[in-house]
């Protein structure tokens, strides 16, 4: 039987930043990135500081693993048309923010993984998990991917040039069909439904099942969580209402524009028939000035 758990974004704010609970984040990132992740610390950065404006719809967490690589996890609920650009800005900001001051070169630039968990229709596509990285392909030989030299591989501890550049993951949670076919799907099921089935075996989920159980929170934490969820629902309700209002206004505007266009066409035909201008005004509802403009 599945148990109701706190949402992942709230857990990121209040629970997963604690060292004792790193194992949950490590499990999720290991299943997603497909290599063992050991978190050394959760960092404070300009990239993951909350503001009053976005506290209900956006949550960020920045972690550093034992290899010194930076992993930025972002959770976004509200639709944001320039979200792709924000992903690029976030990773670029981290690179410049964490390069060691006084370095004579760029060899100590941090590797960045950008993990984006979105609950809105971002872009167009049929999948629910997307991955992006940087490669340099030959223009004349399409299968030829530029590789680092042997010295570069040794000096920078890399196998490919893509190992230097940011890598991006997008989880379009609402696109998931709730059928868990593998361990990553089990995590996505939890992200979408805030439940973990008893037969799920993905890394970190067993710890999440215990740590994120609402009933195991103390009274104060449970009250804070409840208020946070109510605030999120209220914010989403406002956004939904604004969206419906915009649609209604758009329909009404289109209807009025259509009626005006139709009246203009009728007026043109009546002018061609040499009908009296005042009568055309009464027939079409257009003003005398508008009729005279058409006449000219």
Q: Dump pLDDT digits (tens) for 180-193.
A: 999 999 999 999 98
Decide: residue 56, CB within 10 A, 0-12 exposed, 13-18 middle, 19+ buried: buried
Give the separation between CA 209 and CA 29, rounded to whole angstroms.
17
Q: What is the average pLDDT across 46-74?
A: 71
Q: What is the average pLDDT across 207-226?
A: 73
Q: What is the pLDDT of residue 203?
A: 93
Q: What is the average pLDDT across 41-58?
A: 56
Tell me: pLDDT of 127 over 90: yes
Q: What is the dihedral of CA 243, 245, 246, 250, to 10 degrees?
A: 140
Percent of the chain scored above 70 by pLDDT? 81
Q: What is the pLDDT of residue 36?
A: 92
Q: What is the pLDDT of residue 79?
A: 81
Give the separation between CA 17 and CA 229, rounded to whole angstroms.
19
Per-residue pLDDT tens digits for 68-126: 899 999 988 888 889 999 999 999 999 988 886 555 678 888 999 999 999 988 999 99
Is the pLDDT higher at 225 or at 168? 168
Going along the chain, which residue ranges are E strands? Answer: 3-4, 39-43, 58-65, 70-76, 112-118, 129-132, 167-172, 195-196
Bridge-partner residues for 129, per DSSP?
171
> What is the pLDDT confidence band of residue 202, given thresholds at 50, 70 and 90?
very high
Q: How far are the Cα atoms of 254, 269, 275, 294 from residue 264, in angstroms, in the given order?
A: 15, 9, 14, 8
Q: pTM to 2 decimals?
A: 0.72
Q: What is the pLDDT of residue 53?
A: 45
141's torsion region: left (phi>0), alpha (psi -120 to 50) or beta? beta
Helix crossing, 22-33 with 183-193: angle to 10°? 120
> What is the pLDDT confidence band of residue 18, given thresholds at 50, 70 and 90?
confident
| Terminal-residue alpha carbon distance, the chain | 77
Q: What is the average pLDDT across 157-166?
A: 94
Q: What is the average pLDDT across 255-276?
A: 80
């Amino acid at each position: 039987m599945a148990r109701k758990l706190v949402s992942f974004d709230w857990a990121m704010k209040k629970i997963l930043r604690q060292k004792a609970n790193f194992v949950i984040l490590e499990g999720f990132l290991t299943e997603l990135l497909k290599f063992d992740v050991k978190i050394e610390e959760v960092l404070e950065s300009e990239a993951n500081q909350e503001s009053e404006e976005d506290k209900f719809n956006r949550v960020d967490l920045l972690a550093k693993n034992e290899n010194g690589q930076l992993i930025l996890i972002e959770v976004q609920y509200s639709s944001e048309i320039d979200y792709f650009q924000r992903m690029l800005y976030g990773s670029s900001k981290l690179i410049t923010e964490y390069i060691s001051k006084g370095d004579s070169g760029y060899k100590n630039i941090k590797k960045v993984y950008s993990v984006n968990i979105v609950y809105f229709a971002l872009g167009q596509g049929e999948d629910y998990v997307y991955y992006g990285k940087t490669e340099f392909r030959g223009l004349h030989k399409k299968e030829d991917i530029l590789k680092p030299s042997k010295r570069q591989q040794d000096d920078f501890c890399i196998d490919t040039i893509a190992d230097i550049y940011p890598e991006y993951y997008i989880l379009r949670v609402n696109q998931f069909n709730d059928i868990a076919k593998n361990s990553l799907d089990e995590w996505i099921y939890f992200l979408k439904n805030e439940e973990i089935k008893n037969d799920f075996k993905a890394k970190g989920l067993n710890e999440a099942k215990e740590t994120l159980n609402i009933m195991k929170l103390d009274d104060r934490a449970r009250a804070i969580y409840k208020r946070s969820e109510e605030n999120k629902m209220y914010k989403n309700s406002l956004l939904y209402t604004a969206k419906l209002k915009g649609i209604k206004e758009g329909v009404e505007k289109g209807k009025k524009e259509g009626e005006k266009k139709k009246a203009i066409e009728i007026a043109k035909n009546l002018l061609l028939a040499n009908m009296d201008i005042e009568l055309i005004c009464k027939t079409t509802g257009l003003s005398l000035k508008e009729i005279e403009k058409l006449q000219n």
